[in-house]
Homo-oligomer: A and B are copies of this chain.
Amino acid sequence: MPITIYDVAREAGVSLATVSRVLNNSPHVKESTRLRVQETIERLGYEPNLLASALMTKRTGMLALLVPDISNPFFSEVAWGVEDAAAKLGYNCVICNVGDDTRKQAAYTSVLRRKGIDGIIFATAAHDDRLVVNLGKRGYPITLMARDVPAAAVNRVLVDDRFGAALAARHLLELGHRRLAMISEPARIHSSRERSRGFTAAVRAAGLEPVMVQADGSDIGAGYRASRELLAKAPRPTGIFCANDLLAIGVLQAAAEAGLKVPGDLSVVGFDGTTLAQVASPPLTTVVQPIRQMGQTAVQLLVDSLQNGTSPRRVVLEPSLKRGASSGPASGDAGARLPRDRVFAP
C-alpha cells in the first residue's frame, strides 16, 4: 500500500493542497512550510502517483514512436535519437513495431491515445496515409519523420531526398559510369519515390536513362532479389544506386555470389549511412542522413506543439555523400561496348 499525498499532508500538518503546491513548485508557499513538507516527503519516501495527476492535467509525459521494424539499423538509430531527446525533455518513449501494416498502425494509434500518450512520432507513414491526414485535421499532436505524407498538415522532419539521390547519381557519373540503375523501395514510401525522381533527373541531365527496379521490400533479402534480376540483364549496369543501405547490402551479396567484383565490375551506392554500411564488405559508399539529429528534431517539433501549441512545421535536413569502397571508376571496357549515350533507351 504505497503512501499518498494525503499521508504526507497529515504527517506534515498541512493540507493536501499545500503538499500539491510544493510538488509542483508553486511560488505561493512559505519557505518554512515548503521545507517542512519536503522533509516529510523525503522521510516517508513518498512517490507521487503520476497516473492520478495525469488524470487531472491530461499530460502523461509519454511519447510514442511508430517504426516499421526496430531491428532495422536505420530505425534503431532513429529510436536512439528520439529516446535521447525525449528523456532530456522529461518524456518517456513508447516504441511500437508496426511493420507495413496499416491496420496495426491504426490499432496502435488508438490504444496509445486511450492510454493518454501525449503525442506520436510516425516513421511508418505511407505516401497517402489516411490516418495521418485525419489526425492532422483533428489537430492531434503528431510528427512525421523519414516518411512524408504530402497531404497532411502536421509536423515533419525529412531529408532532401532528391538532393541526396542526385549526389549518388553525380558520384557514379563522375566515376565514369554510363549504365546506371536504381533499386527503390515499395511505392507507398514517399521518400523512396523522391529518391527515384532525384536519381532519374540527375542521370537524365547527363543525357542518360537509368534502369529503375522496385524492390518488394526494404530489407537485405529484397535487395538481393531485385539485384539478381538486374544483374542478369544484358548489358549489365555498372553502377547501382539503392534507396537504402539494406538493399545495397543485398546487392553486394548477390554480386559476390555472381562472382562480380565490387567496385571493379560493379559500383554500389546506398542511402542512410547506418553502421551496417560501414561494416559491409566492401564498406558502402552511401548517402548519409543525420539520423540521430532527425530523431531529436522530431521530438523537438512534437514537444513544441505540445507545450506551446505551435502550428505544424517542416524541417528538411541535408544529406551528404560518404565515400566508401563500394564505388570506383567504371572499367574501361564497360563503356566501350556500347554507344555513349542513351544506353538503355530504345
Please list the residues of chain A having a beta carbon within 8 angstroms of any beta carbon in chain B: 47-52, 54-55, 60-62, 64, 69-71, 73, 76-77, 79-80, 83-84, 87, 92-97, 110-116, 220, 249, 275-276, 279-282
Contacts and interface: CB of A to CB of B under 8 A. Distances in A.
How many copies of the polypeptide does the oligomer hold?
2
Across the A-B interface, give the 5 residue pairs with the lowest CB-CB distance, nearest first: A281-B281, A76-B76, A71-B80, A51-B116, A95-B95
Q: Which of A55, A79, A95 has the most CB of B within 10 A?
A: A95
Contacts of A47: 110, 113-114
A76 B70 contact: yes
B70 A92 contact: no
Contacts of A114: 47-50
Q: Which of A51, A52, A54 has the most CB of B within 10 A?
A: A51
A112 B92 contact: yes
A116 B76 contact: no
Contacts of A50: 111, 114-116
A268 to B, nearest CB: 13
Given A55-B51, A55-B52, A276-B276, A92 B79 contact: no
A222 B220 CA distance: 27
A87 B96 contact: yes
B116 A49 contact: yes
Contacts of A84: 97
B115 A61 contact: yes
Contacts of A83: 70, 95-97
B76 A71 contact: yes
Given A62-B115, A281-B281, A94 B97 contact: no
Contact of A280 (B110, B113, B281): B281
A45 B237 CA distance: 55
Nearest to A72: B76
Given A73-B275, A276-B276, 18 more contacts: A47-B110, A47-B114, A49-B116, A50-B115, A55-B55, A61-B115, A69-B80, A70-B70, A70-B76, A70-B80, A73-B76, A76-B76, A83-B95, A92-B112, A93-B96, A94-B94, A249-B279, A275-B276
